[in-house]
């Protein structure tokens, strides 16, 4: 019995030492959307499954909280820092401090500007400009399918967080396509901060200000889902009176598409956990990742499937066929 106890104690110590050996810290933006929650869960699960120590900070959408979190990580002398910046600018000083502390930095999702003088070991993010293009191309082709290409249609846009590359990129992609699509006319474009509540509020004000809104492009599905509530409250039929296209493609958007209240969503995967763990293992083994960038998303989901959604001619998939595979 005594021997068994000693063995158990030694085992606990070994496991304890092994898991305390590496500490990974993650400075996350907040919990503004289904995408973000899934992203946080994916990273946490994958890191904890390796038995590594995990330190997490939720900045509640505030840049100053992130700066504080990064400085805390430095003073705790963590081994690796994962970082998603809420906006693109204003990180130069604190990221230099991370570099001076010689803590390898991995950028997730949103990329800061001015990175020429900052060292980072790896970066994973979506191609936001391409996602915006896909939203607009799908819409253009859907309108054509409805036989409405000669009709002038009024478009409103719900933008993501101002100053975030996820928002500027998607907006640029959308506008790049719409500038050559004269029948789709943007009559209003405003931030809804990537949240359901603000999407709902801004859509309500759009509906009050404009009698005729034919299309809503939302930089994420949460804002589209919030907007659907305002559209219903205004006595209009979402998905029919107003064509609604979002981005991210969580299950909640699939449900809305299957219910006919939303028309399409462009994929942007939040499931970074396995990529991050793979990168960390390679870095721990001394490999130089050469700041690689991965864009793992490739689909668009709608009610029917078959509508072209990229410049190189990819076809959308039917949401009802794919919802079972969805992990977020």
Which positions touch ligand GYE (CB under 6 A)?
A: 32-33, 35-36, 109-110, 126, 166, 194, 220, 222, 247-248, 268
Residue placing its CB nearer to ligand GYE in the complex, 23 or 195? 195
* Token pair for 131: 């996602």
Q: Which residues contact 149 (CB under 8 A, 6 or more apart)?
A: 143, 183
Minimum distance between the CB of residue 248 and ligand GYE, rounded to whole angstroms? 5
Minimum distance between the CB of residue 41 and ligand GYE, rounded to whole angstroms? 14
Q: What totals of helices (H) and strands (E) does the chain contain, helices first?
A: 11, 13
Minimum distance between the CB of residue 102 and ligand GYE, rounded to whole angstroms? 28
Of 8, 1, 57, 55, the closest CA to residue 29 belongs to: 57
Torsion sign, CA atoms 294, 296, 299, 301: negative
Minimum distance between the CB of residue 110 and ligand GYE, rounded to whole angstroms? 5
Placement of tokens 């204003």 in the chain? 90
Minimum distance between the CB of residue 164 and ligand GYE, rounded to whole angstroms? 6
Residue placing its CB nearer to ligand GYE in the complex, 23 or 40? 40
Rounded-to-integer distance, Cα 98 and Cα 215, Å: 44
Residue placing its CB nearer to ligand GYE in the complex, 86 or 207? 86
Instruction: Decide: 151 and 184 in contact? Cβ < 8 Å.
Output: no
Residue placing its CB nearer to ligand GYE in the complex, 110 or 133? 110
Residue placing its CB nearer to ligand GYE in the complex, 158 or 268? 268
Minimum distance between the CB of residue 82 and ligand GYE, rounded to whole angstroms? 14
Instruction: Decide: 247 and 266 in contact? Cβ < 8 Å.
Output: yes
Instruction: Decide: 96 and 114 in contact? Cβ < 8 Å.
Output: no
* Token pair for 220: 């994420």
Placement of tokens 């500490």 in the chain? 23
Residue placing its CB nearer to ligand GYE in the complex, 192 or 239? 192
Residue placing its CB nearer to ligand GYE in the complex, 166 or 184? 166
Rounded-to-integer distance, Cα 173 and Cα 144, Å: 20
Residue placing its CB nearer to ligand GYE in the complex, 29 or 78? 29
* Token pair for 251: 């299950």
Instruction: Decide: 73 and 90 in contact? Cβ < 8 Å.
Output: no
Rounded-to-integer distance, Cα 174 and Cα 324, Å: 29
Instruction: Decide: 316 and 138 in contact? Cβ < 8 Å.
Output: yes
Minimum distance between the CB of residue 108 and ligand GYE, rounded to whole angstroms? 9
Minimum distance between the CB of residue 194 and ligand GYE, rounded to whole angstroms? 4
Rounded-to-integer distance, Cα 185 and Cα 199, Å: 20
Minimum distance between the CB of residue 268 and ligand GYE, rounded to whole angstroms? 5
Residue placing its CB nearer to ligand GYE in the complex, 222 or 317? 222
Q: What is the 3-state secondary structure (H, E, C) of 98-162?
A: HHHCCCCEEEECCCCCCCCCCCCCEEECCCHHHHHHHHHHHHHHHHHHCCCCCCCEEEEEEECCC
């Amino acid at each position: 019995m005594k021997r068994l106890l000693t063995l158990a104690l030694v085992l606990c110590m070994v496991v304890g030492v092994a898991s305390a050996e590496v500490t990974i810290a993650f400075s996350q933006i907040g919990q503004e959307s289904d995408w973000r929650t899934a992203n946080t869960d994916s990273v946490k699960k994958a890191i904890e499954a390796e038995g590594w120590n995990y330190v997490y900070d939720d900045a509640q959408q505030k840049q100053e909280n992130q700066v504080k979190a990064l400085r805390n990580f430095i003073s705790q002398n963590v081994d690796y820092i994962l970082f998603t910046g809420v906006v693109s600018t204003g990180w130069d000083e604190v990221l230099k401090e991370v570099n001076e502390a010689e803590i390898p930095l991995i950028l997730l999702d949103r990329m800061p500007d001015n990175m020429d003088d900052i060292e980072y070991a790896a970066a994973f993010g979506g191609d936001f400009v391409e996602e915006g293009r896909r939203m607009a191309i799908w819409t253009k082709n859907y309108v054509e399918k409805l036989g409405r290409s000669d009709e002038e249609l009024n478009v409103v846009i719900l933008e993501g967080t101002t100053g975030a590359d996820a928002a500027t990129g998607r907006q640029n992609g959308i506008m790049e396509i719409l500038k050559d699509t004269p029948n789709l006319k943007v009559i209003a474009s405003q931030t809804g901060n990537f949240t359901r509540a603000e999407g709902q509020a801004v859509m309500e004000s759009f509906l009050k200000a404009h009698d005729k809104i034919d299309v809503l492009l939302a930089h994420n599905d949460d804002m589209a889902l919030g907007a659907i509530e305002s559209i219903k409250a205004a006595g209009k039929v979402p998905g029919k009176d107003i064509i609604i296209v979002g981005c991210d493609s969580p299950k909640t958007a699939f449900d809305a598409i299957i219910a006919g209240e939303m028309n399409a969503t462009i994929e942007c995967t939040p499931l970074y956990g396995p990529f991050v763990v793979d990168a960390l293992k390679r870095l721990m083994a001394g490999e130089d990742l050469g700041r690689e960038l991965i864009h793992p998303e490739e689909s668009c989901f709608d009610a029917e499937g078959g509508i072209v959604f990229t410049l190189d001619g990819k076809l959308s998939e039917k949401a009802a066929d794919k919802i079972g595979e969805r992990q977020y």
